[in-house]
Structure 1
Amino acid sequence: MLLSPDVIEQITHARTQHPKLRERDLAAAIGLSEAQLVAAEAGAAATRIIADPARLLPHVGQMGDVMALTRNESAVHERRGVYKNFHSGAHASMVLGDEIDLRIFPRHWVHGFAIRRETDQGVKRSLQVFDAAGDAVHKVHLGPDSDIAAFDAVVADLALPLDAPFEMVARAAPEGARIAEDRIDALRSEWAQLTDTHQFLAMVRKLKMNRLGANRAVGTAFARQLPVQAVSWALERSAEEALKIMIFVGNDGCIQIHSGPVKRIEPMGPWQNVLDPRFNLHLRADHIAEVWLVSKPTKRGPAISVEAFDAKGQLILQMFGKRAEADTDTSGWDRMAQGLAAEVAA
């Protein structure tokens, strides 16, 4: 048994009391991790599976059209498509499909479950992966056109015994903005010499800073603070102008990317939503504490992004103009994004 009878009883009671509460919110309400909530169903609706993406994602690629979900505390990124072009690596892996586009950090893929749950709408199947603290890293939800036999093959190939070790570790405290005051001149100099956005994190780590700290320290030549409403403005104007954009949402174990236009922007209470047929974004706009307009030099011209952070200094999402090898023109996005800063200055 993965959990004690008392904990299972607590979860069962909470489900009865709050039948419509989402799993993540239900777990938080009773002081457990989401992985523990799912583990309470092990041996019934849930089957424990090997979480290693090198073992798991080739199976997902056989499932056809599915919905990929990656989230953090403040944003949920949902993209329909087929998992294509999986590239495995010990420290970082990738899925590089036209619709499903992921950056994966395998050491955080710790607890895996295959879930088959009876609902009023029929059987719902999903694969769910959690980190060592029990927070969701990535989920795959099957739809009406998905290959059920491929889902069954995951269970047959990757199932773990019920008594396999299942341990939670304490969640790491979030790191706020980190600035090395004695290295700000070096930051400005090295930032100006970037030739690729992928060099950025290595640069700030070398200088003993992090993303938010670097944004705050580098100066207005490369980073300008915007109002917290700027993310909603950027989404709305991208829809109005039919701009092709990229939206990155991630956590320690997975970053999920949407590339293309956004069309239907629907605020709902504290949520700002994109509700398109193949892509949904659910953003807690009230969690946004800082927004930055960031410019990074590259060989193909500046990469301009809008970046949102929460009050703890955690990155919520990034937005860029869509750039591909055959189409490097991001002028529409660049003009719109820079216009956000111009409005503030005015």
Structure 2
Amino acid sequence: MAAITDSPVADSPEALRRAQAEATLRPRDLAESLGVSEAHLLAARTGQGVTRIAAHPDGLVGGLAALGRLMALTRNDSIVSEVEGTYLDYRPGAHASMVLGPEIDLRIFASHWVHGFAVEAETKQGLRRSFQVFDAAGDAIHKVYLPLGADPAAWTALRDRLATGETSDRIETGPRSPVEAAIEAPEKAARLREEWDRLTDSHQFLMLCRKLRVNRLGAYRMAGAPHARRLAPEALGTLLHRLAETRVPTMIFAGNRGCIQIKSGPIGPIRPMGPWLNVLDPGFDMHLRGDHVAEVWAVTKPSRRGPAVSVEAFDGRGALITQLFGHRTAEVDHNAAWIDLLEALPAEVA
């Protein structure tokens, strides 16, 4: 996504409202075409179907269980994950919070939950109610949709409880944080591999990267096989098709700086449409821009339960698009079938 410009439209809520009334584009695409953020579009409609709310997840996400089944949407520039379920077992934390329901599974980083809105929007199917949260630049972090036709009483009560009373139809946003390209330190490669082999939990990996002053993609390039095996860019699409054919359960991570959404279980057929690879399952939709995939890695990290093996895709800037892991539960470990799928994926040709 390009940087937000100093578009004069951003200073004209009336122009933004008019553009939305006339638009055929989705809000994200409309915002991009106007040189503003999605949050600018919603702020312009404050008092006209849009209510400004406190964005912190303790109040918002902590209150969603009472609304019953909802649709959770998390995305970045290259992937959209939409999961239907209930926001169960919310666990607040100083740095990271979690939702640990069997359907909706989130990792939340509250410092990026800056602008919040409760939205009522007319659609061809009826009135659609949602809560939408954006970061300091006005880009979407997480959206929550009430099903069409559902009783709105609990949604309205939560909206009113979170309302800030802000009535301005303008919003102040900051610049987007640039994507961090791969950071490598080839002279530290041997040390990286040695300390990598001593990991006991995959979550320790990012701490190791910070210690060595590299980042995720840089570490994969430095370590090489067997720690990180580079695959062909088309391997991600191949893997998705094979997961659909075999019904091997997986965990698909999709997210941004403020929220990571995890979908666990088997997936249905992959339906290509232009550059998009789509999963349209009951209760789960995923939309992936296959043409954005520039690097794919099969990564093995030690853990107390055995190797954690993932497939991770990055775009041409070095931004992480998605991670896929073999699905494990306390009762069942599908890792063997998962690894068989990975070993058959095409390697990158040097």
Cα distance in 2, alignment partners of residues 151 and 299 from structure 1: 42
Aligned equivalent of 1:245: 250
Q: Which residue of 2 aligns with 1:130?
A: 134
Match for residue 314 of structure 1? 319
**2:38 paired with 1:24:** no
2:340 corresponds to 1:335: yes
Is 1:116 the counterpart of 2:120? The answer is: yes
Contact 1:62 1:147 survives alignment (8 Å):
no
Corresponding residue for 2:69?
65
2: distance between equivalents of 1:173 and 1:6? 24
Q: C-alpha separation between the residues in 2 aligned to 1:149 and 1:72?
A: 31
Q: Which deviates further from its counterpart, 199-208 or 247-256?
A: 199-208
Which residue in 1 is equivalent to 2:183? 178
Structure 1 residues 109-143: Cα deviation after superposition (integer angstroms, max 9, x where no partner)? 00000001122211100000000010100000111
User: How far did residue 344 of structure 1 move?
Assistant: 6.1
* Residue-pair matches, total: 341
2:222 paired with 1:217: yes
SS of 2:73 mapped into structure 1: strand
Match of 2:17 among 12, 32, 35: 12
Q: Which residue of 1 aligns with 2:276?
A: 271
Bigger shift: 56-65 or 240-249? 56-65
Aligned to 1:324: 329
* 1:68-79 equivalent positions in 2, closer than 5 A: 68-79=72-83
Give the TM-score taking structure 1 as reference length. Answer: 0.94
User: Displacement of 1:5 after TM fit?
Assistant: 9.0
Counterparts of 1:155 and 1:109 in 2: how far apart (Å)?
16
Distance 1:298 1:331, change over 3 A: same
Q: Which residue of 2 aligns with 1:40?
A: 44
Distance 1:81 1:22 in 2: 24
Q: For 1:265 and 1:145, how far apart are their aligned partners in 2?
A: 29
SS in 2 for 1:62: helix
- SS of 2:325 mapped into structure 1: strand
Q: CA deviation at 1:10?
A: 2.7
Secondary structure in 2 matching 1:179? coil
Amino acid at match of 1:331: A
Distance 2:348 2:32 in 1: 38
Aligned-residue sequence identity (percent) comes to: 51
State the partner residue of 1:298: 303
How many angstroms does 1:16 deviate by?
Answer: 4.6
Is residue 94 of structure 1 aligned with residue 124 of structure 2?
Answer: no
Does the C-alpha gap of structure 1 residues 50 and 62 become closer, same or farther in structure 2, counting only changes over 3 Å? Answer: same
Root-mean-square deviation (CA), in Å? 1.8
Stretch deviating more after TM superposition (23-32 or 321-330): 321-330
- Whether the 8 Å CA contact 2:10–2:36 is kept in 1: the answer is no
Q: Is the Cα–Cα contact under 8 Å of residues 202 and 301 in structure 2 kept in the other structure?
A: yes
Deviation at 1:145, TM superposition (A): 6.8
CA shift in 2, pair 1:344/1:106, >3 Å = closer
Distance 2:296 2:15 in 1: 40
Structure 1 unmatched ranges of 5 or more: none
Deviation per residue, 1:8-61 (Å, 9 max, x gap)? 2332343355x2211111001010011111111111111000000001112211
C-alpha distance in 2 between matches for 1:54 and 1:332: 38
Which string of whole-angstrom CA distances, capped at 9 and with x for unpartnered residues, describes residues 184-214 of structure 1?
1111111111111111111111110111111
Q: Counterparts of 1:65 and 1:180 in 2: how far apart (Å)? A: 47
The one-letter code of the counterpart of 1:102 is: L
Is the 2:309–2:339 Cα contact (8 Å) retained in structure 1?
A: yes
- Distance, in Å, in 1 between the alignment partners of 2:186 and 2:149 is 54
Is the 8 Å Cα contact of residues 83 and 104 (structure 2) preserved in structure 1? Answer: yes
Q: Distance in 2 between matches of 1:284 and 1:10?
A: 31
